[in-house]
Amino acid sequence: MLLKVEKLVKMYKIPILGGGGAKELNYLLGVDIPRCVVIGKNVMFPHNSIGTVIHDNTVIEDNVKIYQNVTLGRADVYKSSKDANTEFKGFHIKEGACICAGAKLICKKGTLVVGKNAVVGANAVLLNSIGDNEIWSGVPAKFIGMRDRVELDIEGENEIT
């Protein structure tokens, strides 16, 4: 929703707060999703993604849901992103994944991957990659189960392979 509004603001040159408005709109809603984030088809940001912050080295595949107040960020923020010693690469959220409200995905090294159809529970703090169809919750996040075949078939969005 936010990205669509931002595109409309730019396309029709709607004056918001005296300028192009896209940046101001992000500040008003408390959202930080850089333009360089790769976002697939049918990605949903319910509740206008209020309070959501997504690192610029992020790939989000098709049919992903990211709820409000979610953060995808580096664990080594004290290092410059240009620092040759940083082991951080980014985030990859695979098709059909769901990141629930308030979840924090914190990556120290490599690429943190959220598997296909995986779920990160509300207010979870995820520090490691998770596999396809897994459900993780808690602080720090722990594996709590698997999404079952019936649940995925009902959604009709994703096939289990």
Quote the pTM value: 0.78
The per-residue pLDDT for 1 is: 52
Shared domain for 72 and 108, answered yes or no, is: yes
Average pLDDT over residues 31-57: 90
Q: Copy the structure tokens of residue 123.
A: 């207010």
Shared domain for 68 and 141, answered yes or no, is: yes
The per-residue pLDDT for 140 is: 97
- Mean predicted lDDT score pLDDT of the chain: 83
Shared domain for 6 and 82, answered yes or no, is: no
The per-residue pLDDT for 31 is: 84
Q: Are 144 and 137 in contact (CB under 8 A)?
A: yes
**What is the CATH classification number for the domain harbouring 68?**
2.160.10.10
The per-residue pLDDT for 148 is: 84
Q: Please check the confidence at residue 14 and state whether its pLDDT lies above 50.
A: no
Total count of residues recorded for the chain: 161
Shared domain for 77 and 18, answered yes or no, is: no
**Please, what is the end-to-end C-alpha distance for the chain in angstroms?**
30
Tell me if 161 is assigned to some domain.
no
| Distance in angstroms (rounded) separating the CA atoms of residues 110 and 57 | 11
Structural domain containing residue 64 = 34-155
Shared domain for 83 and 18, answered yes or no, is: no
Q: Copy the structure tokens of residue 131.
A: 């596999």
Shared domain for 59 and 111, answered yes or no, is: yes
| Distance in angstroms (rounded) separating the CA atoms of residues 111 and 147 | 23
Q: What angle do CA 19, 22, 25 make, to 5 degrees?
A: 100
CA neighbor of 10 nearest in space, from 2, 21, 1: 21
Shared domain for 26 and 38, answered yes or no, is: no
Average pLDDT over residues 44-65: 92
Per the structure, the count of domains in the chain is: 2
| Distance in angstroms (rounded) separating the CA atoms of residues 4 and 47 | 14
pLDDT-derived band at 19 (thresholds 50, 70, 90) equals: very low
The percent of residues above 70 in pLDDT, for the chain, comes to: 72
The CB-based long-range contact list for 122-127 (8 Å cut-off, 24+ gap) reads 122/67, 124/100, 127/75
pLDDT digit string (tens) for 58-105? 999 999 999 999 999 999 888 776 666 678 899 999 999 999 999 999
Tell me if 103 is assigned to some domain.
yes
Shared domain for 96 and 23, answered yes or no, is: no
